[in-house]
Amino acid sequence: MMPFYKKFRNTAICFFLLCFFLSAAVPAAEIPYPPDSYEPDNGFETTRPITVNDSAGQHHHFHAPGDADWVKFYGLSGKNYRIRTLNVEIRCNSVIEIYDTDGISLLKSRNYGIEGEDEILYWYCPKEGLYFVRITQAEPEIFGENTGYDLYADYPEGPVFDGNITGYVKDVFSALPVAGAIVRTAVSQPALSGTDGAYAIIGHAAGNFTLTAEHPEYRAAEVPVSVKDSITVRTDIFMTSSLCSKGDVNGDGSVELEDLRLTFHFFTGTRPPSAEEFCAANTAFEGSRDRYISLEDVKGVFDIFMGEK
């Protein structure tokens, strides 16, 4: 009869060999790595804006195989831009690509091919518009720890001035954030509002200016802003929706006496309007902070009803 210790030894050897062959035959599951704070940003449809000339930059990392980080900015015709990945970690080999306004046509790319090295792409903007930047790993299967980098977009010569304008773009009626608005002055680099409505214009000249915001679903809004050297000025912008038929308050396809009656009730405060009703009744549009129906709005609906507007 085989001694106990030999039975134990043989069993242990068999168990070890079984585990070894199983581990060789079945690849280990990839341990998930937490995404960075800018995810989801794997395509130009879900990308977030990057503030041009912002010295803080954005910190990203590759959290999954094939991960791609997209950002967007508004380019000015004839301007030279510099896109950089700095403070690149040892397992990061970043590839910088810039895409046209359609998010599909590749305009330029840069990769030096060395892990842990910074990358710089210089690009001349041929026409004003929205452009996209895509950052990927040169070896897309590498992800997780030590794949981080800081992303910057700026002018090669740097901003000439040091005044800043920040704030939020909001819907005038609901106060909800308006994402994707183009915010600028006559002399500034345009900024894009994020999903929270926040925008920032960095490196602005001192003086008094008109700050404008544009969005395809809203009326253009304007507010005065006074910029001072070395100071950040907060200026919020409120926009009024343009997705309605002016004067057609009840939405029946025509402007009738009922629309005029409703507008008068909104003016007197006897009934508050819905967002859609406010949009249709707000015919006068008395500035970006116009949150109420005025007598001018009542007159505007009347003029539309009479065919005079």
Residue 37 domain-assigned?
no
What is the number of domains present in the chain?
A: 3
Name the helix (H) or strand (E) containing 7.
helix 4-25
Q: Which domain holds residue 295?
A: 257-305
Which of 189, 204, 239 is the last residue in one of the domains?
239
Per-residue tokens: 87? 């403070």
Same domain, 231 and 184: yes
Of 87, 119, 154, the one marking the end of a domain is 154
Q: Which residue bears the tokens 């903007």?
A: 125
Say if residue 147 is in the same domain as residue 57.
Answer: yes
83 lies in some domain: yes
Asked if 97 contacts 133 with a C-beta cutoff of 8 angstroms, the reply is: yes
Q: Tell me, yes or no, whether 178 and 229 share the same domain.
A: yes
pLDDT tens per residue across all 309 residues of the chain: 445 444 444 554 555 444 444 444 444 445 679 999 999 999 999 999 999 999 999 999 999 999 999 999 999 999 999 999 999 999 999 999 999 999 999 999 999 888 889 999 999 999 999 999 999 999 999 999 999 999 999 998 877 899 999 999 998 888 899 999 999 999 999 999 999 999 999 999 999 999 999 999 998 999 999 999 999 999 999 998 887 888 899 888 899 999 999 999 999 999 898 878 888 888 886 655 567 889 999 999 999 988 876
Asked if residue 246 is part of any domain, the answer here is no
pTM of the model: 0.76
What CATH number does the domain containing 104 carry?
A: 2.60.120.380
Q: How far apart are alpha carbons 239 and 173 in whole angstroms?
A: 8
Q: What is the pLDDT of residue 245?
A: 84
pLDDT given at position 17? 47
Single out the residue of 153, 150, 140, 152 nearest to residue 63, CA to CA.
140
Provide the Cα torsion 167, 172, 177, 179; round to 10°. -90
User: Are 150 and 169 within one domain?
Assistant: no
In which residue are the tokens 């930047």 written? 133
Residue 191 and residue 171 share a domain:
yes
Predicted local confidence at residue 175, as pLDDT: 86
CATH number for position 193: 2.60.40.1120
Q: Which conformational region is residue 4 in: left (phi greater than 0), alpha (psi within -120 to 50 degrees), or beta?
A: alpha
- CB crowding 204-239: b at 16 or more within 10 Å, else e: beeeebebbbebeebbebebebebeeeebbebbbbb
How are beta strands 68-75 and 48-49 bridged, if at all? parallel
Rounded to whole angstroms, the Cα distance separating 17 from 160 reads 69
Residues 138 and 69 occupy one common structural domain: yes
What is the model's pLDDT at position 284? 80
| Residue appearing with tokens 């001349």 | 124
Give phi and psi for 259, each to the nearest 5: -65, -40
- Boundary-marking domain end, from 212, 239, 266: 239
